[in-house]
Structure 1
Amino acid sequence: MTSARMKGVKCCFLLLISLMDLAAQDQFTLATYNVENYLDKEVPGRKVKSEESKLAVRETILKVKPDVLVVQEMGEPSALSELRDSLARRGLNYDHVRLLDAYDRYIHVALLSRFPIVSERHHTNDAFLLEGKRLPVSRGFLEATIAVNDDYQFTLFAAHLKSKRSVHYADESRMRAREATILRKKLESILREQSNANLAVLGDLNDSRDSIPIRTIVGRGKLALKDTRPGESTGIGKPIDPDVTWTYHYDEKDSYTRVDYLLVSRGMAREWIRERSLVLAMPNWIEASDHRLVISTFRARD
């Protein structure tokens, strides 16, 4: 092959790579992951996460490298910084990071994004009346609008509803239902103004699809959200088992349930790529967390 022809082949190859990169920028991934007590300091009722478990969390995230990641059960800012810095050393950089400082002082909702956060609201003062008591939304809600590119933005709500663990002062299921009602009102305040808004709800909602809290958040009619409900897979682009959707293992009862959700508005559902959305199956998933990571892919254009 002549040098001129080799040069031409090289140019074509570089052009192909550039086009592939451009195509990749036309899509983005959105994930939620309960990282189970990602703590660097012991707090009441919760232990410091081991280095082995932290490593397993990082390996899980690095397997799919989400562009935007919402996590639950994150510890103090120092723990979030450690996770971000550890991922950066492995080549996954999140330049935009937020920690929601709500009523629960020990575990938090957090957001890590490769894309700029153009606006945000930290909903940390919501409360509700139940059984004669005024109770806070313990973990709050993190609202953020993210610019994927010059032409595409979306707003996410990161949530971690009340767990099914019993408390002495109120019924846990009714607490979760009240939190869901508050969240739904926030969603509707956006959707009633702009029914085609790009809107996503991510997080550990601690209940089943047919429960009152989940049905409340999803809503009805034209303003209802779409449950992406991805199946199990070992990675993006790999075969997906649509019948295996569990995201949480409850050790005491040896049960496997789906409590982690990625819900989207009708407007954003148009950009959703079903075949590139999954519950990540890792051989050592339990070393990282009692939850599994959920990730969906979207086209970055309306």
Structure 2
Amino acid sequence: MPSIRFSALTASVPADITFGMGCLFLRCIVIISAWLFLHSPLFAADTFRVACYNVENYLDEKTGTRPLKTDAAKAKIRESICALKPDVIALEEMGSTNALLELQGSLKSEGLDLPYWEHVAGFDTNIHVAVLSKFPFTAHHPHTNDAFLLNGRRFQVSRGFAEVDIQPTTNYSFTLIAAHLKSRRQIAAADESELRLEEAKVLREIIDARLAANPNLNLIVLGDFNDLHDSAPIKTILGGRSKKGLIDTRPAERNGDDHSHTDRRVASRNITWTHFYAKEDTYSRVDYILLSHGIAREWNTNESYVLSIPNWGTGSDHRPLVASFTAQDK
């Protein structure tokens, strides 16, 4: 059998040994290639999970009236996120990029690696919208300077909007838009509900533009919208029953309730609240995961829920929610 030579270094090696070295070399290449493929971010399971969590002032230094996040609160945030096992998570009330990277590193040390990140710096310099992802971003479209007129005055969208295109597999991608609308706290400049409605209108314009360009777009719009489902801001974002309208996933607690109940009056009593508002001593649903008709076909309804764990309030005044999807267009 003729000698198979891979370099000048094998010229004096007997043919059978050289052939064996070549086979070993090729075998190693196959093994390494397979390992890289299986561990590539583009190789994923059939499903992926998208979560949303207002982490309440996740700051690495005190800013104004916003306190430094305690170690106990950070630990509960990590516990909550790890319990959800998200592949992508949108975060509200995130501090600086340093705070985001600290959280990312802490999650990785506890077994949840989300190597890709987006941090949007809007008009509010204290808290921000951010995204952590297991999958790569194929495009970034941060919205940092959107503005509107209210009663003759010009205002900016306070926290901006994060918009990224994400690719869970080589054959499937979706667009994610994360938002944190004006809180229900009054300010001197304008009525808080009117400000929130105007921010919702700006967000809806972005949604309309994306769906006009691609009516079948796989689009997820999520975040802390700071209002109830029948309010004007939420109705504005949902967009009605048109083809551009969004679908409210309305996740509920996993507490033993029968979420498949056929009586809608009973099913509507599932526990869905996501936020405790101390000023009013109320629990309400103000955090949402909304879907375009395109991605709603891939939504796994039985795997979408609001996380309920002991001492949840140690971490934040919000509870996180998650939705699951099949990574295949239907």
How far apart are residue 239 of structure 1 and its match?
6.3
How far apart are residue 24 of structure 1 and its match?
7.2
- Equivalent residue, structure 2, for 1:104: 124
- Equivalent residue, structure 2, for 1:268: 295
For 1:275 and 1:64, the matched residues in 2 are separated by 14
How far apart are residue 52 of structure 1 and its match?
0.3
5+ long unaligned stretches in structure 2: 1-37, 260-266
- Equivalent residue, structure 1, for 2:245: 224
SS at match of 2:210: helix
Q: How does 1:275-294 map to 2 (within 5 A)?
A: 275-294=302-321
For 2:94 and 2:325, the matched residues in 1 are separated by 26
2:206 to 165, 179, 186: 186
1:51 partner letter: D
SS at match of 2:303: strand
- Check 1:208–1:126 CA distance in 2 against 1; reply closer, same or farther (3 A cut): same
- The answer on whether the counterparts of 1:232 and 1:240 sit within 8 Å (CA) in structure 2 is no
How far apart are residue 252 of structure 1 and its match?
2.4
Q: How does 1:23-172 map to 2 (within 5 A)?
A: 25-172=45-192
2:285 partner letter: R
For 2:276 and 2:68, the matched residues in 1 are separated by 20
SS at match of 1:36: strand
SS at match of 1:47: coil
2:189 partner letter: Y
Percent identical: 48
- The answer on whether the counterparts of 2:44 and 2:168 sit within 8 Å (CA) in structure 1 is no
Q: Give RMSD over aligned pairs.
A: 1.5
Report the number of matched residues: 278
For 1:294 and 1:124, the matched residues in 2 are separated by 25
- Equivalent residue, structure 2, for 1:9: none
Q: Deviations over 1:76-117 (max 9, x none)?
A: 111111100000001111110111011110000000000000
Mean Cα displacement is larger for which, 188-197 or 82-91? 188-197
2:89 partner letter: L
Q: Deviations over 1:41-75 (max 9, x none)?
A: 00011000110000000000011110000000001
For 1:293 and 1:261, the matched residues in 2 are separated by 10
SS at match of 1:178: helix
How far apart are residue 254 of structure 1 and its match?
1.6
Q: Say whether residues 1:204 and 2:204 are aligned partners.
A: no
5+ long unaligned stretches in structure 1: 1-17
How far apart are residue 193 of structure 1 and its match?
2.1
For 1:252 and 1:182, the matched residues in 2 are separated by 28
Of structures 1 and 2, the larger Rg is shown by 2
- The answer on whether the counterparts of 2:51 and 2:84 sit within 8 Å (CA) in structure 1 is no
SS at match of 2:222: strand
2:119 partner letter: L
For 1:269 and 1:60, the matched residues in 2 are separated by 25
For 1:226 and 1:212, the matched residues in 2 are separated by 16
SS at match of 2:142: strand
1:106 partner letter: N
* Superposed structure 1 runs of 4+ greater than 3 Å apart: 238-242
- Equivalent residue, structure 2, for 1:233: 254
- The answer on whether the counterparts of 2:57 and 2:68 sit within 8 Å (CA) in structure 1 is yes
